[in-house]
Structures are given as structure tokens and as C-alpha cells.
Structure 1
Amino acid sequence: MSAQRRFAIVTGASSGIGLELARCCAKDGFDLLIAADEAKIERAAAELRTGGVEVEAVQVDLSTMEGVDTLYAATRARPVDALLANAGRGLGHAFLDQDFAKARGVIDTNITGTTYLIHKIGNDMRRRGAGRILITGSIAGFVPGSFQAVYNASKAFLNSFSFAIREELKDSGVSVTCLMPGATATDFFKRADMLDTSVGTIGKDDPGRVAKLGFEAMMNGEGDVVSGWINKLQSRVAHVVPAGLLASQHRKWAEPGSAKG
């Protein structure tokens, strides 16, 4: 990869918001190291290379420490100018009805793998006194997610974590931005087995627009960005409505069979 160009890592970049974030980086002239746990990451890399930047793809399971180590080793010690930590998993249905291995996969991907990667790359950035980190949280992190309990809780962690480390790094030259989208038109709800729910069938935000807002916020060093005015309204409401009422309302959106045919 060209040592003259800036260098970015984007995780979960095979599709959806992650691929759109990678497109934003490529358009802005970043060389890229992109990662996902599926073979489609190679197809994404081939497309991104047409933008004139160098792209390396790694198919790796970022829910494991070993997977994160593999991704980190793929940097070949090249300084990372931007880390876009977007990899994540969702899971619908009531918690006690879920396969616990899948629930743990949500926790290990969204929380453990993400924080481990940020710890490794963030330390490198702090030593250099420069770098940008974008974490894909969610407005779901503001709401107790009945029938998405583990997923929403994982996003609550990421939202909180991003603000905390931003404060810790405020004088370091390293910026931390949290992108908090709402329901977005990706494969998320299909993968989470939520196509028979109200939230799985409603109109959704465009992932390209969501990614552009997040990328611009990261490049501007902003602390957070919520995509879409409806999502902004929902995030504000969540701060004043009792948690029990929020959980009850979420049930209407996420309970299996809630989709209106």
C-alpha cells in the first residue's frame, strides 16, 4: 500500500453501512484494510479498488481475540489514520428463546471484539498523537430492547464507551466519534431473523446517507451524530420516557409476528 496516502481500517465492510463507510474513505483518498466474516469482503475490495486506492481485504471473525489479532497483523505496522469500527451482529426474539451461542456472538462481536480492536489501534494512535476513531453505535442503545435485549444492550455499551474514551483522549490528538443510526436498509433484519416484526418491515434510512453523515462527523472530530430527524427525535424522547414504558413500546416493534401484513 502507498505510504504517502492515509490509511483506514473499516470492519463489517462487506455490505450495508460498513461498505458505504469504506466507499467514503476510498472517495476521500484513503488506502483501505477492510474486514468481514464472509467471503463477500473480496468482492467489496474489488469494487473499492476501482476508485484508485489500494485495498486489502481480510475475511476474519472479529468476535474472537484471534480474529482481531489477525486483522491487526494485516496492518503490517503501518500507522492507521482512521479506524471505523462498524462490525456488528443483531439478534431478534425473546432472550430465553434465543440460542445462547448466537446471543454470545452478538456480545463477542459488538462489545469484546470492537473494544479489543480499539484498544490496540487506539494505543498506537495515542503514541503518535494523531488518529480518528468512528464507532457504529445505535439509537437502539437508548432503549431497553425487548425482543432485541442483547443487541440493544450491546449498543448501549458502545454509545457509552465512545463518549467515555472521547473524554479520556480529548487532549491526545485522537478523536472519537459515535455514529448512531436508526433502522437502516441493510441485511441486518434478515440476519437477525426479524423480517416478521414491525421494525423489520418499516421504511428505513439509506445506508449511503447514514455512512456519509458518520464519515463527515469523524473527519470533523465531532463526538456523535444521529442520522435522520425521526431518529434524533426518538433519541431525545428516550432520555425522558421511563425505561419500562420504552421496553413496552419496543415490544410492539420487535416481537415476532408484530408485522402488519
Structure 2
Amino acid sequence: MDSHTDAPLALVTGASTGIGRALARQFVDHGFDVVVVAEEDRIHDVARELESSGRRVVPVLADLRTSGGVNSTWAAVDAVGARLEAVALNAGVGVSGRFDQIPLQDDLGLIDLNVRSTVHLAKLATRVMVPAGRGRVLITSSIAAVAPGPFQATYAASKAFVHSFAEGLRRDLRDTGVTVTSMMPGPTDTEFFARADMEDTRLGQMKDKDDPETVAKEGFEAMMAGRSSVVPGSFKNRLQAEIGTHLPDALATPLLARLTKPRD
């Protein structure tokens, strides 16, 4: 395959599984070349799968919790030599349990990945997009952003941060031709709950989680339409997001704790 194409370029982080993998598929299906990033070797398998579309796919194995991982990711984007039209900042992780019992390095690693890498890559991307007068930024938040997060305090706070960040960044860039969209999924059928050690919670054991392909499709469409935010998936997600936005925290917190508390 010719390494140089006239196709627009997209960057997708957290692309080895779940929503990120499905987002990468959306991009190639819509004519984008993609740089796909994850900290797992299977990102190379994802790249080979996506290349069947005929698009150029560049896999990057990087730990985005570190500045070195962010910088190597950006070096790969630069090396493609194509115009960067879109970024989907989707990499993230959860941790579960009572805050004082969670290892400190787990919480700090979550903040480094969910928050710092998002800000760092958004800074790099917008400094390219704004001078070009065009670009799309999709940031994966969560409906967890709209209410306190008992037994996932750091995770919920990180998603509140990136949602607020996306909204503020959108206003900053209003007249530049660059749009920013916050995607706020609900419970989705991915590896998230196993990785976050939430399989013994009511939330983790839910049977009707959303399909990541549906979530990615709706997120991609919202990004391309330049929408400010989207709650993809089921109507229940939109209802929960609406309730969480308006219900006083004193009422929302005990209700959420029933879903997120590890079972004895």
C-alpha cells in the first residue's frame, strides 16, 4: 500500500478494545487514515484488521500515562505527513473500591491517563488544527461525569474534568473552525468493568450494557456534526444523565453507591 495518501488523518487513543476500537473502525469506514494507539501488543492486530478497508493504519504501542508515551504518539502522527483532521481522545481506565483502600499508584495512574494525556494530546492537536482553520476533537467522558462517584471517586472526578474541559475548550475555539465534542457513554459491553475490578458490583453485572459499535457510531456522527456533546446508546443513558444533572448530590450519591459498591 502507498504510504502517502490524500486521505484525512485521524488519531484514536485507547484503540485496542471496546469503544476505541469501534471508533477506529468508524474512521476508516468513512475514508480516514488512522493512527491507533494503545499500551497493548494487540494494537498491531487491530491495525491489520483495519487495513483490510484499504486505508493506511499506523499502530503505536505507547503508555499514555507518561509524557514519553504522549510524545512518541505525536511523533507517529507527525511522521505520517498528512493533515490531521480529527482526534478521538478515548484512552481511559477505571479503578473501583473504597478510596482509602485503593493503591495510590492506581489513582495517580488513572489521573495521568484519563486527564493528563487528554489535555496534553488536545494541546498538541489544537495547535495544528487551529492554524489550519479546521478539525474535529472527540473526548470520551462518561455519564459518570454528572454526579459523585462513590466507590469510583477518582474515576468519576476524572470524567467530570474531561467533560468540563471539552466544554471550555469548545468555547475557546468557537471561531477557529475546530469543534470539540464530549461523548458521555453509559455502561458499555467492553473490558472496562473487568479491568476496573467492578465485576462484583451491580453495575458491572448489568446484562443490558450498550454495544460499543453503537456507542462509537453515535459518537462519531456527533463529532462530525460538530455537536457539543452526545450521550450515546440507550434511552436509559440519556435519562440517567438528565437525572444525574438535576438530582441533588445528597440524593444521587446513595443511589449510585448501590450500583458501584463491591459486594461482600
Deviation at 1:212, TM superposition (A): 0.1
Q: Which residue of 2 aligns with 1:215?
A: 220
TM-score by length of 1: 0.97
Contact residue 201 and residue 260 of structure 2 kept, 8 A: yes
Q: Which residue of 2 aligns with 1:239?
A: 245
Deviations 1:204-254 (A, max 9, x none): 000000000000011111111101211111111112211122111111001
Amino acid in structure 2 at the alignment position of 1:212: K
Amino acid in structure 2 at the alignment position of 1:155: K
Which residue among 73, 76, 86 is the counterpart of 2:75?
Answer: 73
User: Helix, strand or coil for the counterpart of 2:84?
Assistant: coil
Q: How many residues align?
A: 258
Deviation at 1:2, TM superposition (A): 2.9
User: Helix, strand or coil for the counterpart of 2:189?
Assistant: coil
Structure 2 Cα separation of the partners of residues 96 and 247 of structure 1: 18
Q: Which residue of 1 aligns with 2:30?
A: 28
Contact residue 8 and residue 82 of structure 2 kept, 8 A: no
More off after superposition, 130-139 vs 239-248: 239-248
Aligned counterparts, 1:1-261, within 5 A: 1-75=3-77, 76=79, 77-202=81-206, 203-227=208-232, 228-257=234-263
Deviations 1:25-79 (A, max 9, x none): 0100100100001111011001000011010100100111111010000112532
User: Helix, strand or coil for the counterpart of 1:249?
Assistant: helix
The percent of aligned pairs where both chains have the same amino acid is: 42
Structure 2 Cα separation of the partners of residues 187 and 149 of structure 1: 20
User: Helix, strand or coil for the counterpart of 1:177?
Assistant: strand
Contact residue 94 and residue 148 of structure 1 kept, 8 A: yes
User: Helix, strand or coil for the counterpart of 2:194?
Assistant: helix
Q: Alpha carbon RMSD of aligned pairs, Å?
A: 1.0
Contact residue 2 and residue 31 of structure 1 kept, 8 A: no
Structure 2 Cα separation of the partners of residues 244 and 44 of structure 1: 43
TM-score by length of 2: 0.96
Amino acid in structure 2 at the alignment position of 1:124: V
List gaps (5 residues or longer) in structure 2. none
Structure 1 residue runs of 4 or more that deviate by more than 6 Å after TM superposition: none
More off after superposition, 232-241 vs 141-150: 232-241
Contact residue 181 and residue 210 of structure 1 kept, 8 A: yes
Contact residue 8 and residue 33 of structure 2 kept, 8 A: yes
List gaps (5 residues or longer) in structure 1. none
User: Helix, strand or coil for the counterpart of 1:90?
Assistant: coil
Structure 2 Cα separation of the partners of residues 245 and 46 of structure 1: 48
